[in-house]
């Protein structure tokens, strides 16, 4: 499934030319970063300063400032987990200030159209980093999909986008 690459997934976030797309499929990424912020959210404390100024905001801001697109679709069902409440209310809204776009594919009242799709980042339709997580939401790493599998990941992206709605409208209706 994997190919060798001279770039890591992180490298691609500064090297891509047009767009970076992310498909999120999990209800819990709580052990994968922003742990301090998640704990603050659960305790109803203010956002930590380190969360408000995270390096990801610079990465996104630098890309979108020169016309590159960074966007995601999250497949989820309601009721939202505590982690999703955090990610959507703090994370997505924070990242939007840097120019990242978010879409929701809500599978609460309909079947998920791509139930076997993994989490992944696709950059410029030419590289796909398939992401692995453990059952507690801890990121384990990524592997690059081989070129012969790119069409499958494009298909996942296209189906997700066809069934998703912009986050802001979804949040206005279903946000908690």
Measured distance CA(72)–CA(69) in Å, rounded: 10
Predicted TM-score (pTM) of the model is: 0.94
Is 60 exceeded by the pLDDT of residue 2?
no
Tell me the CATH number of domain 9-174, given options 1.10.3470, 2.30.30, 3.30.870, 2.60.40.
Answer: 3.30.870
pLDDT tens, residue by residue, 69-105: 999 999 999 999 999 999 999 999 999 999 999 999 9
Is 80 exceeded by the pLDDT of residue 160?
yes
Across the chain, mean pLDDT equals: 94
Question: Of 102-106, 109-113, 131-135, where does mean pLDDT reach its minimum?
Answer: 131-135
* Domain residue spans of the chain: 9-174
Split at pLDDT 50, 70, 90, the class of 143 is: very high
């Amino acid at each position: 499934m994997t190919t060798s690459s001279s770039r890591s997934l992180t490298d691609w976030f500064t090297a891509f030319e047009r767009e970076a797309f992310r498909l999120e499929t999990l209800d819990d990424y709580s052990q994968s970063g922003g742990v301090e912020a998640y704990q603050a959210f659960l305790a109803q404390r203010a956002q930590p300063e380190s969360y408000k100024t995270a390096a990801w905001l610079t990465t996104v801001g630098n890309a979108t400032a020169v016309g590159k697109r960074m966007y995601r679709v999250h497949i989820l069902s309601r009721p939202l987990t505590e982690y999703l409440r955090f990610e959507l209310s703090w994370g997505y809204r924070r990242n939007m200030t840097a120019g990242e776009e978010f879409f929701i594919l809500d599978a609460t009242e309909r079947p998920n159209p791509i139930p076997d799709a993994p989490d992944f980042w696709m950059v410029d339709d030419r590289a796909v980093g398939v992401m692995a997580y453990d059952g507690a939401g801890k990121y384990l790493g990524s592997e690059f999909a081989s070129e012969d599998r790119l069409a499958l990941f494009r298909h996942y992206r296209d189906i997700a986008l066809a069934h998703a709605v912009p986050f802001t409208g979804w949040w206005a209706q279903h946000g908690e």
